[in-house]
A and B are shown apart, each in its own frame.
Chain A
Amino acid sequence: MAVVAPNATEIRGLIRKAKRWDVIFVSLGIACLGIGLLTFATLFLDMLIDGWSRLNPEFFTQFPSRRAGQAGILSAWVGTTLVMLVTAFFAVPLGIGAGVYLEEYAPKNWVTDIIEINITNLAGVPSIVYGLLALGLFVYTFGLGQSILTAGLTLALLILPVVIVATREAIRGIPGIIREGAYALGATKLQTVKDHIVPYSTPGILTGVIIGMSRAIGETAPIITIGALTFIAFLPPSPISDVPPFVNFEWLKAPFTVMPIQMFNWTSRPEAAFQHNAAAAGFILVLMTLLMNGLAIWLRYRLRKNIKW
């Protein structure tokens, strides 16, 4: 027994040491998180304080103007919202479709390997490259013009790799037994994918969509390249009308501007008053991103509740 006693102290010492390292690591982690949060909070607050005087209802209902006090973001926020709608409309189904195919159906050979490597690489291509591609392809070859449709398609291309990669990761996270269980009950491949794989991977896919859309909403370079405007004091035609067929897609080909362009234009003005407009617009842009993400997070939460495993 005399041998055990020193051993016990030794072990306690070891445990203490390990616990000390735990504390150090946790504090380091909290410090990292704190730095990130503090930076963001400072920037966010700074924008809020700077732009506070401009954050009134008129700011949202007025068009740009040469007078800082009368200038608003109406054309910019409407433009951003519509472009984001088009982007999501194309990027989400295409991205999920491609991801599901690559993960579930594609034969495992060198062609698939090359496609995989390319998709991963595409996620890192600078956005201006997409802008130039879109200028040649959508604006001139397809003749879609400098329109909301072109901008939405361009940003959809930009975030497509992100959505595809996220979809594949989410599908890989589903335990093999789910698939096996479905097959064991006699489900076809389509049934397995439709009723199990895609629904169970939706939360993961939504995370990818959030990341992609958050990137798209702040993009300026490709949007400027395809010919977004700076001064535009009218809105696209309404998608709903009172004459049959009651809906129209005229707005897709309307000229437009987006929030980051409006903001950039204001920061480069000589008059100091425009800097407040820029800060206020920046604050709203962050809020729009939060709102969009909030919606996706809420959807993800609802969907997760339905997963029974």
Chain B
Amino acid sequence: MGIAMKVTVAACAAAISGLALAQGALVKIDGSSTVYPVTEAVAEEFQKAEKNAIKVTVGISGTGGGFKKFCRGETDISDASRPILKSEMEECAKNGISYYELPIAYDALTVVVNPRNTFIKSMTVAELKKMWEPAAQGKITKWNQVNPEWPDAPIKLFGAGSDSGTFDYFTEAIVGKSKSSRGDFTASEDDNVLVQGVSRDVNAIGYFGYSYYVENKDKLKAVPIVEKAGAPAVAPSLEAVVNGSYQPLSRPIFIYVSAKSLDKPEVRKFVEYYLTHGEKLAKEVKFVPLPANAYALNKDHLAKKKLGTVFGGVAEVGIRIEDLMKREAKM
């Protein structure tokens, strides 16, 4: 026991004194689980390309959790599935963290039904709203209540858990207010649970990220979305997202890079690698890449030191990437 205690004390002392030492070239990334697959792919390839001389770590704290660490100066880069919010901007400003906002790909939220569902050809945003808004809770329980042409069958709803950026964006785009949704549906943070749910119930409808639909195409049917009355129904696809016709459910996803960290050569190298190879790698992990010129524009913004966010701390839906890139950024 005596020896054990002595060793303990020695280990503690060594550990604490050792903490001051430099860690070597390390790029620390944390944030959204939606953006994670893209960043992971880039990190994997980057480490290979650098022959492991630069180490990259990626965590999943969620967009909000990621920004908390980012604004405390603990991470170099933050993965975000939505733009930075006002409160987070203030937190960053308080700690003197300035940042670059770089859109790196699109995610297309996909509304899916069971493949044996024969009556759904397309859905309008208004129908989706009628189905998902808070007022629907306990009242809209049958398909024919949403559209009289649909059968008198129960609706089984599957949706994202309230902690996810997917939930925030879907409610913003469909209901009109972020986080405003009915509560009586099967919610899960794990999209595979939703895939299973919809694929097993003929009366089910659900929504999640495009990649989960692509990987399970044989078990699910994607619903084409009609944005406004009179507009054509558009199914989610690479082309529809890139040309901006899949609205309002396609959204850009971002990385936020700390300006202070960008002065470190390893972080700059990583970001440049991200913008050069992001298009190919995003596609590989089933995300929709931005148009090629968007990556070039991102590099341009870095070169011109265009700091800050173009959103001003408020969430928006249905913006085209070209318009986004032209906007003036603010801290």
Rounded to whole Å, the gap between the CB of A43 and the closest CB of chain B is 18
Which chain A residues (52-75) contact chain B, with CB distance < 8 Å?
64-66
Interface size on A, residues (CB 8 A): 34
Contact B43 A231 (CB under 8 A): yes
B186 part of interface (Cβ distance < 8 Å): no
Residues of A within 8 A of B8 (CB): 89-90, 93
Residues of B within 8 A of A90 (CB): 8
Query: Which of B11, B18, B30, B191 sits near A270, CB closer than 8 Å?
Result: B191
Which among A9-17, A122-130, A143-151 touches the partner chain? A143-151
Residues of A within 8 A of B43 (CB): 231, 233
Contact B1 A234 (CB under 8 A): no
Contact A227 B59 (CB under 8 A): yes
CA distance A250 to B189 in the complex (A): 36
B58 part of interface (Cβ distance < 8 Å): yes
Q: Interface residues of B toward A: which range?
A: 35 or more
Contact A270 B56 (CB under 8 A): no
A27 part of interface (Cβ distance < 8 Å): no
A249 part of interface (Cβ distance < 8 Å): yes
When C-beta atoms are compared, the residue in chain A nearest to B190 turns out to be A268
Residues of B within 8 A of A144 (CB): 15-16, 19
Rounded to whole Å, the gap between the CB of A101 and the closest CB of chain B is 12
A182 part of interface (Cβ distance < 8 Å): no
Rounded to whole Å, the gap between the CB of B48 and the closest CB of chain A is 9
Residues of B within 8 A of A120 (CB): none
B316 part of interface (Cβ distance < 8 Å): no
CB contact under 8 A between A233 and B15, given known A268-B192, A271-B215: no
Could you mark each residue 26-54 of chain B with 1 if its beta carbon is under 8 Å from any beta carbon of chain A, else 0? 00001001001101110110010000100
CA distance A66 to B43 in the complex (A): 10
When C-beta atoms are compared, the residue in chain A nearest to B17 turns out to be A249
Which of A89, A231, A265, A272 has the most chain B CB atoms closer than 10 A to its own CB?
A231
A267 part of interface (Cβ distance < 8 Å): yes
Could you mark each residue 74-103 of chain A with 1 if its beta carbon is under 8 Å from any beta carbon of chain B, else 0? 000000000000000110010011000000
Query: Which of A93, A231, A252 sits near B57, CB closer than 8 Å?
Result: A231
Query: Which of B5, B15, B21 sits near A93, CB closer than 8 Å?
Result: B5
When C-beta atoms are compared, the residue in chain B nearest to A249 turns out to be B14
When C-beta atoms are compared, the residue in chain A nearest to B43 turns out to be A231
Rounded to whole Å, the gap between the CB of B217 and the closest CB of chain A is 11
Residues of B within 8 A of A255 (CB): 57
CA distance A227 to B286 in the complex (A): 27
Contact B5 A248 (CB under 8 A): no
A232 part of interface (Cβ distance < 8 Å): yes
B324 part of interface (Cβ distance < 8 Å): no
CB contact under 8 A between A270 and B15, given known A227-B59, A231-B43, A232-B57: no
Contact A253 B18 (CB under 8 A): yes
CA distance A96 to B4 in the complex (A): 12
B239 part of interface (Cβ distance < 8 Å): no
B163 part of interface (Cβ distance < 8 Å): no
Residues of B within 8 A of A228 (CB): 59
Residues of B within 8 A of A132 (CB): none
Residues of A within 8 A of B18 (CB): 248-250, 252-253
Which chain A residues (29-66) contact chain B, with CB distance < 8 Å?
64-66
CA distance A221 to B58 in the complex (A): 17
Contact B216 A250 (CB under 8 A): no
Rounded to whole Å, the gap between the CB of A62 and the closest CB of chain B is 11
Residues of B within 8 A of A253 (CB): 15, 18-19
CB contact under 8 A between A233 and B44, given known A93-B1, A252-B18, A268-B190: yes
A229 part of interface (Cβ distance < 8 Å): yes
Rounded to whole Å, the gap between the CB of A59 and the closest CB of chain B is 17
Residues of A within 8 A of B37 (CB): 66, 269
A293 part of interface (Cβ distance < 8 Å): no
Residues of A within 8 A of B4 (CB): 93
CA distance A66 to B282 in the complex (A): 11
CA distance A267 to B196 in the complex (A): 13
Residues of B within 8 A of A269 (CB): 37, 192
Could you mark each residue 269-303 of chain A with 1 if its beta carbon is under 8 Å from any beta carbon of chain B, else 0? 11110000000000000000000000000000000
5 cross-chain pairs, A with B, having the tightest CB-CB distances, nearest first:
A231-B58, A270-B215, A249-B14, A270-B212, A252-B15
Chain B residues engaging chain A, CB cutoff 8 angstroms: 1, 4-5, 8, 11, 14-16, 18-19, 21, 30, 33, 36-37, 39-41, 43-44, 47, 52, 55-61, 69, 189-192, 195, 209, 211-212, 214-216, 284-286
Identify 21 residue pairs between A and B in the complex whose beta-carbon atoms are under 8 Å apart, listed by A's number: A66-B37, A66-B40, A66-B285, A89-B8, A93-B1, A97-B1, A142-B16, A143-B19, A227-B69, A230-B58, A231-B57, A232-B58, A234-B55, A248-B18, A268-B191, A268-B192, A270-B191, A270-B192, A270-B215, A270-B216, A272-B215
